[in-house]
A and B are shown apart, each in its own frame.
Chain A
Amino acid sequence: MKLTLWTYEGPPHVGAMRVATAMKGVHYVLHAPQGDTYADLLFTMIERRNHRPPVTFTTFQASDLGADTATLFKRAAQGAYDRFQPQAMIVGASCTAELIQDDPGGLASTLGLPCPVVPLDLPSYSRKENFGADETFLALTRALAQPCARTKEVSCNILGATALGFRHRDDVAEITSLLRQMGIAVNVAAPLDATPADLARLPAAHFNVLLYPETGESTARWLEKTHGQPFTKTIPIGAHATRDFIAEVAALAGVSAKVDETNLRQPWWSASVDSTYLTGKRVFIFGDATHAMAAARVARDEIGFEVVGLGCYNREFARPMRAAAKDYGLEALISDDYLEVEAAIIAAAPELILGTQMERHIAKRLGIACAVISAPVHVQDFPARYSPQMGFEGANVLFDTWIHPLVMGLEEHLLTMFREDFEFHDAAGPSHHGGKATPAPAQILEPTPDAATQMIEAAQALAHALHWLPDAEKELKKIPFFVRAKARRNTEKYAAEKGVTQITIETLYEAKAHYAR
């Protein structure tokens, strides 16, 4: 038993729903009690889908348990086929139905439905949402894919995009257009917008482009083994990774790796002098492994941030994540406990958090800038505008969305110069975020304990042996809030290294000189 306040992933049958809802012509009959239909709202509200997810919930009640839940399931499955006439059906159990062991797959097969029926076996008490999506996509592909000849022209499939994914819709569009520029046709993109008939002709492609290992890797591996289709390993998030991806695809397809980069603006936006102030900003990165690892590379190599924390919530990807973190001199944080993530963030004292909706809440509480880079998602992660994370346009989008939460470059200088200014002061926050603007507190040198100071105090508690003399403490408060945590941390680190226990103004400035870049 594990006490959870918030979860990064839903149960595995929600993963199966993400696949069923992404596809067309599939229907999912889910043996489940009343209440499990809440999952519909994830798609209709958060993603604003204009159709109900293609899911029939059997809705058994306590009174059915002693009686005949099996017949209830069969009636629901038959009724769902008659009403929706799907090309293929998936059947399975939610967590409660798993306990009553009705065997949805066996029951459905007795109905002799005139369409393929794919049973799902998703262990609800040991696995989670991503596993459920990955497994469902694999089960459908295994059941439906037919051996067929390769297309005459070079083509590929795009694998892994689901409903409720982080920017999947736009990523698929962006990568499709990139592949088209390279002269490669997309045979099938799946699960998103694919039909069972499309899955049948997956083997016609020459190779596979795997965009989301969390939800598509098992299928990519199976297609490689069974149908001899190699798949891409590079996730094209960021300018560098997109170029690597192009090279990888070019090699697989035997085409030129020369792609027009006219619309890639991010490298210049990053190199232009206004961005100088981004240098070495401390960034903490957490999300699903794929997005987090890709974000770390962009953060360090394309924007010039310092990655001070890196981790993921999906344990299945712990190994590549640990290896990636080493490259940044970090120990990866593998955890699905958001309190643990919060503690790690406090200890790392970042200036920017790149995370999920969970980290957005942590950031809000701690008063740290934050941008969302990964699922779990909320309604604001489905913007109306075209907003991919992948490809060259994706690189542009990353620059904009990560920089937006920060104080602007010149504004930083004003804050540094005029710390007690009525307009540019700690509590005001970035000037382009209207909601935060507040009048300057009367006693600027003794700010009321806000989230930022609480964070600093927490960091201070970690450095238990050190003692800040009042003058040094006062001097520290003159440093603008967005670098104060870094200054405190550096000073304490410096003091600890020098064996100093009492921090004076001199220690502060010695540390500043020591760490000067």
Chain B
Amino acid sequence: MSLDTPPTGCLHTPVLRERGQREVFCGLTGIIWLHRKMQDAFFLVVGSRTCAHLLQSAAGVMIFAEPRFGTAILEEKDLAGLADAHQELEREVERLLSRRPDIRQLFLVGSCPSEVIKLDLSRTAERLNARHGPSVRVYNYSGSGIETTFTQGEDACLAAMVPGLAETQDETLLVVGALPDVVEDQCLSLLTQMGIRNVSFLPSRRASDAPKVGENTRFILTQPFLADTAHALERRGAQRIVAPFPFGEEGTTDWLRAVAKRHGVMLETFDAVTAAPRARARKAVAAHAETLRGKTLFMFPDSQLEIPLARFLARECGMLPVEVGTPYLHRGLMEPELALLPQTVLSEGQDVDLQLDRHAALKPDLTVCGLGLANPLEAAGHATKWAIELVFTPVHFYEQAGDLAGLFSRPLRRRALLQGAAR
């Protein structure tokens, strides 16, 4: 790209669409972080032993001793008679609620088997709501692999909550996406300093703090995978603030600026509030950028964060993305990101064997991929960053920008440290 051409990024880049074996989680996986975020919620997957095993494996074999999630495992007799399956499910829920009186929100989560046998969880949810509401709110959504990819589970979950949110006519700002509490607090503090009031978060930490929504609500996404939630909020009359996602100094500044503009915050105020954290973020990123600059980057599709993160790694850390894969490309949400992303190969969906062939030919300096691929690629001589850490680590906003860059520089620094050791 010559220096005097205005960058149009990847807005018009043709997308390589592939269909084959996918090496990604299903939407159930989102439960791992959602149940920590919503402290009075229980997630009941209606599925098979495979679903239970997935949750357990993705959670690192029981790192949480007292989980607020479980699986109602379908057995042969449930498949034989659906009417009985509904009854069985209600019985299991009754037992669960009586044993765990702390539960205020219960999510019935559909899975591949429950979708295939067309078990209607909305009917069950309705009946249970009639019985246990309003002290317990029962929702249902699908986290099945035949419909959702990894982080889409969070989207389905939040979208399911939107119709039940209380109505308000107040001017409010709703920040959407499950963030670690520390990040949520930082975000709120920045917005408050700019004089923005009536800020709420979806999901809230407790059911009693659930946000209200209405025609005077503006909302902004913190995660790039929340398309259905955005639509659901728009159906409630809320207006979306369009912005890149708050990763890195630039992403965070653009995100905050979009909010500030819509709220009529004075430029001086904006600068005063953001100057110090911006400088800190730049400084923290710079330390890692030394390791990352000029290195090629290959991203396998995983968490749907790939495009914003490639943008961050390219523009703030000087990396050279050679392929950016994403499970699915939602242009409506991704437009501001694509405009910023330097020219690269974009791929959507996956045929993992073909993608591995391309990867082997390109020999990138750093590969971002899921847990199933990381060690095999590492053993084949590639430095890898396993992508699941990106959804389990606080990475949003200014104070985490350095940590985010660090997640990518660490594998490279580690390789350098271990040079000479037997690999």
Interface residues of A (CB under 8 A from B): 1-7, 9-11, 13-14, 33-42, 44-46, 48-52, 56-62, 64-65, 76, 79, 83, 94-96, 99-100, 123-126, 128, 357-358, 361, 364-365, 376, 378
Contact = CB atoms under 8 A, between A and B. Distances in A.
Nearest to A381: B61
Interface string B46-68: 10111011101110111001010
Contacts of A14: 50, 53
Contact of B372 (A1, A13, A40): A40
7 contacts: A1-B85, A35-B54, A56-B21, A94-B50, A95-B49, A124-B49, A357-B62
Given A59-B21, A96-B116, A99-B117, A11 B26 contact: no
- The bracket for how many chain B residues form the interface is 35 or more
A124 to B, nearest CB: 6
A112 B71 CA distance: 40
A33 B71 CA distance: 18
B75 A45 contact: no
Contact of A34 (B70, B91, B92, B149): B149
A300 B90 CA distance: 46
Given A10-B53, A41-B372, A99-B113, A378 B75 contact: no
A76 B95 contact: no
B3 to A, nearest CB: 43
Interface string B198-237: 0000000000000000000000000000000000000000
A49 B65 contact: no
Nearest to A40: B372
Q: Is the interface of A mostly helix, strand, loop or mixed?
A: mixed
Interface in B11-42: 20-29
Given A3-B72, A6-B62, A44-B371, A35 B376 contact: no
B145 A35 contact: yes
Given A38-B25, A40-B23, A59-B22, 11 more contacts: A1-B75, A3-B71, A10-B49, A10-B57, A14-B53, A39-B53, A41-B58, A46-B61, A57-B22, A64-B146, A99-B79
Nearest to A62: B146
B80 to A, nearest CB: 10
B76 interface: yes
Contacts of B115: 62
Contacts of B49: 4, 7, 9-11, 95, 124, 128
Contacts of B85: 1
B375 A44 contact: yes
A45 B146 contact: no
Contact of A83 (B24, B54, B353): B353
B92 A52 contact: no
Given A5-B70, A35-B24, A44 B147 contact: no
A459 to B, nearest CB: 20
A7 B73 CA distance: 11
Contact of B376 (A1, A13, A33, A44): A44
Query: Of residues A34, A42, A52, which shows the largest number of chain B Cβ atoms within 10 Å of its Cβ?
Result: A34
A376 B57 CA distance: 11
A381 to B, nearest CB: 10
A50 B50 contact: no
A464 to B, nearest CB: 21
A34 B26 contact: yes
Contacts of A5: 67, 69-71
Contacts, number: 190
B88 interface: yes
A10 B61 CA distance: 12
Contacts of A128: 49
Contacts of A46: 57, 61
Q: Which of B28, B146, B147, B378 has the most CB of A within 10 A?
A: B146
Interface string B290-315: 00000000000000000000000000
Nearest to A1: B88
The 10 closest A-B pairs by CB, nearest first: A35-B26, A35-B145, A40-B372, A50-B379, A41-B371, A96-B112, A95-B48, A1-B88, A10-B53, A33-B145
B63 to A, nearest CB: 9
Contacts of B380: 50
Interface string B99-133: 00000000000001101110000000000000000
Contacts of B67: 5-6
Contact of B21 (A3, A11, A45, A57): A57
A35 B28 contact: yes
Contacts of A64: 146
B89 interface: yes
Contact of B50 (A3, A100, A124, A365): A124
Q: Which of B24, B50, B69, B79 has the most CB of A within 10 A?
A: B50
A95 B47 CA distance: 9
Contacts of A124: 48-50
Contact of B92 (A1, A7, A45, A49): A1
Contacts of B145: 33-36, 96
A40 B28 CA distance: 17
B248 interface: no
A313 B233 CA distance: 47
B260 interface: no
A37 to B, nearest CB: 5
Interface string B340-384: 000000000000010000000000000000111111101110000
Nearest to A52: B376
Contacts of A6: 52, 56, 62, 67
A400 B74 CA distance: 42
Contacts of A126: 75-76
Contacts of B58: 38, 41
B314 to A, nearest CB: 28
